[in-house]
Structure 1
Amino acid sequence: MEIREQDNCRVMFDPVLLAEDPWQSFEPDFWQQQQAVVGSARGRGTTWFVRGQQMEMALRHYYRGGLFGKLVKDQYRFSDWASCRSMAEFTLLQHLVAEGVRVPRPVAARVCKSGLFYRADLLTEKVPDATDLVDRLQQGPLSTAQWQAVGAMIRKMHDSQVNHTDLNAHNILLDREERIWLIDFDKCSLADGEHWKEANLSRLHRSFVKEVDKAGIHWQAADWQQLLAGYAG
């Protein structure tokens, strides 16, 4: 892992995964000039999918949500480099990869300070040919084995003591080989003990119930029991 600094900015990156200039790699214009933008997705902002020399990647700028986000859309209070949003998520993804949890590999993180505040960006591996569970379940139900695989991957994450505070059906992916991926670890963290794990599962259960009405997904109580069976091992 390498760390570079210039003009009140710090970049942390993996030189094995990123062959491009780490400073330019956070600029969408750079990728557009290389004709390397392969797609985008809209959320609070635009996530750009780009083709690097080593792999396809997802480039995300951090934006605030909620009412406060309408006033200060992308600035956060600076305390130290390690706790900045992109640096913290980068480090957490490194931990998960080392623990064998299937998550996008972190490629690079950038933080730029301005007075007491900072802005942040993150570059991660793009999961190839993947669909989130909501989209997948709109097409049809999952098999028993697939539900158990979802539960087993969540258990692996929990065994690594990572508290995913926004675990929902959109943050679980299936790729073309039917492998399970977990994504979106912004504001997540390592946590001691066991008490928070049930809260993660309860949040996920509520998201399935919600998406039955909202998106018409193919999901029923028996599917949840199969997920719990996979979680229990």
Structure 2
Amino acid sequence: MKTLTSHKQVIWFDDTLISESLAEQAFDPDYWHAQNKILGSAQGRGTTWFVQTEQLPAALRHYRRGGLFGKIIKDHYWFSQWHKTRSCEEFQLLQHLVNEGVNVPRPIAARAVKRTVCYQADILTQKIEGAQDLVAILQQRTLAPEIYQSIGEQIRKLHQANVNHTDLNIHNILLDSDNKVWIIDFDKCLIEPGLGETNLSVWQKSNLDRLLRSFKKELMKRQVHWEEMDWEALLSGYQQSA
């Protein structure tokens, strides 16, 4: 990880994926529009722009607050230290997971800009080509038990890397065109102390419980093609990887 520092801004970037000159401009959507490098966009709390970098397609996301507080203060966060900004923490966590062999988007660059006592943040990560989240897929078709086992295996690898995905739901699990499982959206997630437990710790169980609630919620809300036996297949993959 390389760092570019100025008085009110820090950029962290992987110089094997992006040049220093591009990293300085990479967080401005207008730059990508001017270069005709916009591949598309998606709407969430804000707009995620899909862009073509020097080496690979990427997703550019500006950090925005959710909930009621987010209606008042949309994209400012209290500043304490540069390395504790949400963009820096997510960048480093993704690097850790890539190094641990978990299927997550590669982090390309991240930025924090100080605004008096607050900061704003952005991150640029690999775009997973040809991927859809489980919600979109399960509205169209069922999935084979082997795919659910693969999902369980990836979650176990995530946990073996001591990463607590505090918002693990079926929107944040993707399948690409080869049915390869990817896990995304690591904002506010964290690396837990490695205690060497043989049984499920509280946070690991919490992740799985949240994911199960997500399946059940989308079953009620969108009538996705999912049954309890699919969850058993997922747990089987999770436990076999232990």
TM over 0.5: yes
Gaps of 5+ in 2: 196-200
**What is the aligned partner in structure 2 of residue 46 from structure 1?**
47
Q: Find the counterpart in structure 1 of residue 81 from structure 2.
A: 80
SS at match of 1:228: helix
Name the residue aligned to 1:146: 147
Q: How far apart, in 2, do the equivalents of 1:166 and 1:114 lie? A: 28
Unmatched tracts of structure 1, length 5 or more: none
User: 1:11-30 to 2 correspondence within 5 Å?
Assistant: 11-19=11-19, 21-30=22-31
Structure 1 residue 7 displacement after superposition: 4.0
1:211 is aligned to 2:218: yes
Superposition deviation, residue 168 in structure 1: 0.1
- Match of 1:24, SS state, is coil
- What amino acid is aligned across from residue 207 of structure 2 in structure 1? N
Distance 2:135 2:71 in 1: 28
Which residue in 2 is equivalent to 1:186? 187
Residue 15 of structure 1 deviates from its aligned partner by: 1.2
Following superposition, the deviation at residue 122 of structure 1 comes to: 0.2
Distance in 2, matches of 1:58 and 1:216, equals 29
Q: Structure 1 residue 84: deviation in Å?
A: 0.3
Deviation at 1:23, TM superposition (A): 1.5
The answer on 1:10 being equivalent to 2:10 is yes
* Structure 1 CA distance for aligned equivalents of residues 191 and 110 of structure 2: 19
Q: Is 2:206 aligned against 1:199?
A: yes
Which residue number corresponds to residue 230 of structure 1?
Answer: 237
* Letter in structure 1 aligned against 2:220: D
Q: Secondary structure at the match of 1:95?
A: helix
> Which segment is superposed worse, 17-26 or 2-11?
17-26
In the alignment, which residue of structure 1 is the partner of 2:198? none
Matched, 1:70 2:77: no
Structure 1 position 216, deviation (Å): 1.5
* Identity over aligned pairs, percent: 52
5 Å matches for 1:111-130? 111-130=112-131
Q: CA deviation at 1:115?
A: 1.1
AA of the residue aligned to 1:226: A
Looking at structure 1, the residues matched to 145 and 67 of structure 2 have their Cα atoms a distance apart, in angstroms, of 37
SS in 2 for 1:139: coil
Number of residue equivalences: 233
Which amino acid in the other structure matches residue 6 of structure 1?
S
| Offset at residue 22 of structure 1 (A) | 1.0
User: Do structure 1's residue 33 and structure 2's residue 34 form an aligned pair?
Assistant: yes
> For 1:12, what is the secondary structure of its paired residue?
strand
What do the CA deviations read for 1:36-84 (whole angstroms, capped 9, x no partner)? 0001000110000001110000000000111111111000000111110
Amino acid at match of 1:182: I
Match of 1:101 in 2: 102
Pick aligned residue for 2:228 from 213, 221, 224: 221
* Runs of 4+ off more than 6 Å: none
Q: How far did 1:6 drift?
A: 2.1
Which residue identity lines up with residue 58 of structure 2 in the other structure? M
Query: What's 1:133 paired with?
Result: 134
Name the CA distance, whole Å, in 2 between partners of 1:215 and 1:84: 36
1:128-152 deviation line (CA, Å, top 9, x unaligned) = 1001001111111100110100000
Report the alpha carbon displacement of residue 24 of structure 1 after superposing the two structures with TM: 0.7
